[in-house]
Amino acid sequence: MNFDDFQKAWQAQDTAAKVTINADTLLKEIRRNQQSLRRTLFWRDVREVGMAFVLTWYFIQRGLRTEAWTDCVVGLTCFAVGAFMVVDRLLQRRKQPVASDSLAAWIESSLLQVNHQIWLLKNVFWWYLLPLSAALGVSVAVSCWHVRDRAAQLTGWCIYVVICGLLDWFLYWLNQTAVKKSLEPRKRELEALRAETGFPVQPSETKNNTMKITLILTVLMLAVLALGVIIAAVPAPANAAPDQSLETIRKQHDLPALAVVVVKNGQICDRQAVGVRKSGDTALVTTNDLFHIGSCTKSMTATLTAMLIEEGKLRWDTTLLEIFPELRGKMDPRYEAVTVEQLLHHRGGVPGEPPAGAWKKAWQEIGTPMQQRREFIEAVLSQPPEAAPGTKMIYSNQGYAIVGAMLEKITGQPFETLMTEKLFKPLHLDTAGFGPPGTTDNTDQPWGHVHKLLMTIPLQLDNPPAIAPAGRVHCSLDDLARFVMFHLHANATNGLLRPETLARLHTPTAGGDYACGWVVLQRGWAGGTTWMHNGSNTMWYIVMWLAPGKDFAVIAATNIAGPEAEQGCDDACVAMIHHWLPE
Amino acid sequence: MPQHSMSAHEQEAIFRRWLDAHLGLLLKIIRGCAAPQDQDDLFQDVLLQLWSSIPAFRGDAKETTWIYRVAFNTALAWRRGEQRRRVKHETFLKMEVSPESQPSHADTLSAQEMVAQLYTAIRGLPKLEASLALMHLDGLSYQQMAEVLGISENYVGVKLNRIRQQLAEKLKGASDEL
Per-residue pLDDT reduced to its tens digit, A425-445: 999 999 999 999 999 989 999
Interchain contact A97–B (C-beta under 8 A): yes
CB < 8 Å from B in window 197-226 of A: 197-199
A199: closest chain B residue by CA: B151
Cβ pair A196:B111 closer than 8 A: no
Can you say how many angstroms the Cα of residue A417 is from the centroid of all Cα atoms in its chain? 36
Percent of chain B scored above 70 by pLDDT? Answer: 76
DSSP A450: E
Strand partners, A476: A290
What pLDDT is stored for residue B174 in this prediction?
56
3-state secondary structure of A109: helix
A103: closest chain B residue by CA: B149
Q: Is the pLDDT of residue B84 over 70?
A: no
Do residues A334 and A389 lie in contact, with contact meaning Cβ atoms separated by under 8 Å?
A: yes
SS3 content of chain B, % helix, strand, coil (to 5): 75, 0, 25
Region A532-548: what's the mean pLDDT?
A: 95
Per-residue pLDDT reduced to its tens digit, A104-155: 888 888 888 889 989 989 988 888 998 888 888 888 888 777 766 777 778 8
What pLDDT is stored for residue A15 in this prediction?
67
Cα distance between residue A303 and residue A484, in whole Å: 11
State the nearest Cα–Cα gap between B149 and chain A, in angstroms.
4
Percent of chain A scored above 70 by pLDDT? Answer: 92
Cα distance between residue A265 and residue A262, in whole Å: 10
A104: nearest CB among B126, B150, B175: B150
Q: Is the pLDDT of residue A302 over 80?
A: yes
Cβ pair A6:B171 closer than 8 A: yes
Which of A45-49, A249-253, A397-401, A571-575 is predicted least confidently? A45-49
Task: Please name which of A238, A240, A289, A217 lies closest in space to residue A260, comparing C-alpha atoms.
Answer: A289
Range with top average pLDDT, A14-23, A469-478, A484-493, B154-163: A469-478
Region A251-256: what's the mean pLDDT?
A: 90
pLDDT tier, B173 (very low <50, low <70, confident <90, very high otherwise): low
| Arithmetic mean of pLDDT over chain A | 87
**What H or E segment, with its residue span, contains residue A89?**
helix A69-94
CB < 8 Å from A in window 22-41 of B: 23-24, 27-28, 31
Q: State the ipTM, two decimals.
A: 0.79
Q: Is the pLDDT of residue A420 over 90?
A: yes
Which of A161-175, A262-276, A299-313, B49-63 is predicted least confidently? B49-63
Cα distance between residue A80 and residue A70, in whole Å: 15
Cβ pair A16:B27 closer than 8 A: yes
Show the DSSP H helices in A123-149 as ranges.
Answer: 124, 130-146
Cα distance between residue A85 and residue A45, in whole Å: 9
Q: Is the dihedral of CA A264, A270, A274, A277 positive or negative?
A: positive
A258-A264-A270-A274 Cα dihedral, nearest 10 degrees: 0
Q: Chain B partners of A1 at a C-beta cutoff of 8 Å?
A: 168, 171-172, 175
Which of A227-236, A359-368, A459-468, A506-515 is predicted least confidently? A227-236
3-state secondary structure of B103: coil
Strand partners, A258: A274, A558
A16: nearest CB among B23, B91, B131: B23
User: Considering the entire predicted model, what is its pTM?
Assistant: 0.55
What pLDDT is stored for residue A210 in this prediction?
67
Neighbours of A152 (CB within 10 A): 11
Do residues A505 and A517 lie in contact, with contact meaning Cβ atoms separated by under 8 Å?
A: yes
What pLDDT is stored for residue A193 in this prediction?
82
Region A339-368: what's the mean pLDDT?
A: 94
Show the DSSP H helices in A179-296 as ranges.
Answer: 184-197, 205-233, 241-252
What pLDDT is stored for residue B107 in this prediction?
46
Q: Chain A partners of B16 at a C-beta cutoff of 8 Å?
A: 23
Do residues B121 and B19 lie in contact, with contact meaning Cβ atoms separated by under 8 Å?
A: no
What φ, ψ does residue B85 adopt, rounded to 5°?
A: -75, -20
Do residues B167 and A3 lie in contact, with contact meaning Cβ atoms separated by under 8 Å?
A: yes
Cα distance between residue A307 and residue A407, in whole Å: 11
Q: Is the pLDDT of residue B58 over 60?
A: yes
Show the DSSP H helices in A273-333 as ranges.
Answer: 297-310, 320-323
A100: closest chain B residue by CA: B70
Can you say how many angstroms the Cα of residue A535 is from the centroid of all Cα atoms in its chain? 18
What pLDDT is stored for residue A432 in this prediction?
96
Q: Is the pLDDT of residue A224 over 70?
A: yes
What pLDDT is stored for residue B2 in this prediction?
45
Percent of chain A scored above 90 by pLDDT? Answer: 55
What pLDDT is stored for residue A319 in this prediction?
95
Q: Is the pLDDT of residue A236 over 80?
A: no
Cβ pair A196:B1 closer than 8 A: no
3-state secondary structure of A315: coil
Task: Please name which of A55, A174, A61, A72 lies closest in space to residue A124, comparing C-alpha atoms.
Answer: A174
State the nearest Cα–Cα gap between B67 and chain A, in angstroms.
8
What pLDDT is stored for residue A192 in this prediction?
84
Do residues A534 and A551 lie in contact, with contact meaning Cβ atoms separated by under 8 Å?
A: no
Task: Please name which of A433, A544, A551 lies closest in space to residue A492, comparing C-alpha atoms.
Answer: A551
Q: What is the end-to-end Cα distance of chain A in Å, rounded? A: 116
Cβ pair A7:B139 closer than 8 A: yes
Interchain contact B170–A (C-beta under 8 A): no
Region B55-70: what's the mean pLDDT?
A: 85
Q: Chain A partners of B86 at a C-beta cutoff of 8 Å?
A: 33
Per-residue pLDDT reduced to its tens digit, A128-138: 998 888 888 88
Contacts of B143 (CB under 8 A, 6+ apart): B153
Region A441-468: what's the mean pLDDT?
A: 89
B150: nearest CB among A13, A21, A102: A102
pLDDT tier, A28 (very low <50, low <70, confident <90, very high otherwise): confident
Cα distance between residue B173 and residue A1, in whole Å: 12
pLDDT tier, A447 (very low <50, low <70, confident <90, very high otherwise): very high
A6: nearest CB among B50, B114, B131: B114
3-state secondary structure of A396: coil
Q: Is A143 exposed, middle or buried (0-12, 13-18, 19+ CB in 10 A)?
A: middle
What φ, ψ does residue A275 adopt, rounded to 5°?
A: 100, -165
Interchain contact A30–B (C-beta under 8 A): yes
Region A410-438: what's the mean pLDDT?
A: 95
Q: Chain A partners of B76 at a C-beta cutoff of 8 Å?
A: 103, 106-107, 193
What pLDDT is stored for residue A494 in this prediction?
66
Q: Is the pLDDT of residue A276 over 90?
A: yes
Cα distance between residue A156 and residue B103, in whole Å: 77
Q: Is the dihedral of CA A221, A226, A228, A229 positive or negative?
A: positive
Show the DSSP H helices in A441-494 as ranges.
Answer: 468-471, 477-488
Question: Per this entry, what is the length of chain B?
Answer: 178
pLDDT tier, B102 (very low <50, low <70, confident <90, very high otherwise): very low
Q: Chain A partners of B100 at a C-beta cutoff of 8 Å?
A: none
Cβ pair A198:B129 closer than 8 A: no
State the nearest Cα–Cα gap between A116 and chain B, in angstroms.
17
Q: What is the DSSP string of A504-552?
A: HHT-PPTT--B-SS-EEEEEGGGTEEEEEEEE--SS-EEEEEEEGGGTE
Neighbours of A501 (CB within 10 A): 17
Region B23-30: what's the mean pLDDT?
A: 88
Residue type, A341: E
Q: Is the pLDDT of residue A21 over 80?
A: no
Cα distance between residue A41 and residue A48, in whole Å: 11
Cα distance between residue A336 and residue A334, in whole Å: 6
State the nearest Cα–Cα gap between B95 and chain A, in angstroms.
5
Interface residue of A5, A8, A15 to substitute, partner B, most B CBs within 10 Å: A15
Region A264-275: what's the mean pLDDT?
A: 92
Region A85-110: what's the mean pLDDT?
A: 85
Residue type, A372: Q
Q: Is the pLDDT of residue A235 over 60?
A: no
More confident residue, A26 or A349: A349
DSSP A253: T
A103: nearest CB among B73, B171, B172: B73
A30: closest chain B residue by CA: B48
Cα distance between residue A427 and residue A498, in whole Å: 15
The 8 Å CB, 24+ separation contacts for A175-183 are A175/A121, A175/A122, A175/A124, A176/A121, A176/A122, A178/A121, A179/A118, A179/A121, A179/A122, A183/A114, A183/A117, A183/A118, A183/A121
Cβ pair B89:A19 closer than 8 A: no
Cβ pair B69:A101 closer than 8 A: yes
Task: Please name which of B122, B120, B102 lies closest in space to residue B112, comparing C-alpha atoms.
Answer: B102
3-state secondary structure of B95: strand
Cβ pair A98:B168 closer than 8 A: no
pLDDT tier, A371 (very low <50, low <70, confident <90, very high otherwise): very high
Q: Is the pLDDT of residue B11 over 80?
A: yes
What pLDDT is stored for residue B98 in this prediction?
47
Q: Is the pLDDT of residue A386 over 60?
A: yes
Task: Please name which of A126, A123, A139, A163 lies closest in space to residue A76, comparing C-alpha atoms.
Answer: A139
Interchain contact A104–B (C-beta under 8 A): yes
State the nearest Cα–Cα gap between B40 and chain A, in angstroms.
11
